[in-house]
Amino acid sequence: MTDTLFGKRLHNLRLLRKMSQQQLADKLNEWTAKHDPSNKAKISKSMISRWENGKTDPQMFYVRLVTNFFGVNPNAFIHESWSENDQIIDNSVNSNIMTKTNDILPIYSKLHPERQQKVYTYAEKQLNEQQNPDNVVSLDEARAERNLNEPEFNVEVDGIVAAGYGAFNDDRDEPIDTVKIPDSAIPSHYDYCFKVVGDSMSPYYEDGEFVFVQKTQDVTNGMIAVVDIDDMTFIKKLIFEENRLCLRSLNDDVDEETGERIYPDFYADDTDNIEVIGKVVGSYAFK
């Protein structure tokens, strides 16, 4: 158990990077050799262990080395209260990332436009999930490992939804197929099950994956939904603009030659026949 703030921060960041104490020591030594070759100081596994356990306090040189390696402001390792005012510290189960807010913009500005778009798209997705928690289904839940002892149930597939350029479904009242899906992957309430065709929503919804859709009257900005436009069915992120609906793909891959997104946004307005079938409440992909 760590007894010091430095030890606690170091322990959390090491686990976040999925490194052993020996691996971290080796990485720190490699980083020093590359970025400060005149410095002959070496870090050992035992030093990491003593710091994490609070048995010894590192010299300021080592504090700077560790924080530079992790890209974290040294104050985060020294002042307990500093994180409340000057740093974003996410202590959720899935992450414990510490990033100095003012350090983000200079890094972002150095990126090429296509990489800036990836950063923006990812940040936008995180904000959307934060603001619309009901729409978020974790990959661990949606793609749970199949348990051979777990009961499976027949699920009627009501049609296909295009993650690309639209799919035609003649009649959703007549299922096109029936598949067996483990009980844990089936939401407690859903109205439709569709099969995804295409890669534009990858890696969140893959080609061949099954999505569960619930009817809703509460259509919100940023919702992942299945929508009919002029009799073509899509799975997209919905963005409401002043006079039109933006349908956005989650796959942000770009063409290496042009730098353009392979799956760009497209739009619908009051000249189109638009029906929001429902919001995505779960998914399942066969292993």
Q: What is the pLDDT of residues 109-157, one digit of tens each?
A: 777 776 777 777 777 777 766 666 555 555 555 444 445 557 889 999 9
Q: Does domain 139-284 have CATH number 2.10.109.10?
A: yes
CA 276 to chain centre: 25
CATH 1.10.260.40 domain range(s) in the chain:
5-110
Confidence band of 41 (pLDDT split at 50, 70, 90): confident
| pLDDT at residue 186 in the model | 92
DSSP H helical ranges for 132-260: 139-142
Separation between Cα atoms, residue 124 and residue 68, nearest integer Å? 27
| pLDDT at residue 196 in the model | 92
Q: Which CATH architecture has domain 5-110?
A: Orthogonal Bundle (1.10)
Beta strands in the chain (DSSP E): 87-89, 98-100, 152-157, 159-162, 167-168, 177-182, 192-197, 210-214, 224-229, 232-240, 245-248, 266-268, 274-284
Task: Say if residue 107's pLDDT is above 90.
Answer: no
Confidence band of 75 (pLDDT split at 50, 70, 90): low
Q: What is the CA radius of gyration of the chain?
A: 24
Read off the pTM. Answer: 0.49
Separation between Cα atoms, residue 78 and residue 63, nearest integer Å? 9
Average pLDDT estimate for 8-28: 87
Q: To 5 degrees, how large is the angle CA 136–CA 170–CA 248?
A: 35
| 156-165, 231-240, 243-252: least confident range | 156-165
Average pLDDT estimate for 83-96: 36
CATH 2.10.109.10 domain range(s) in the chain:
139-284
| Spatial contact of 235 and 276, defined as CB atoms under 8 Å apart | no
| pLDDT at residue 93 in the model | 27
| pLDDT at residue 223 in the model | 92
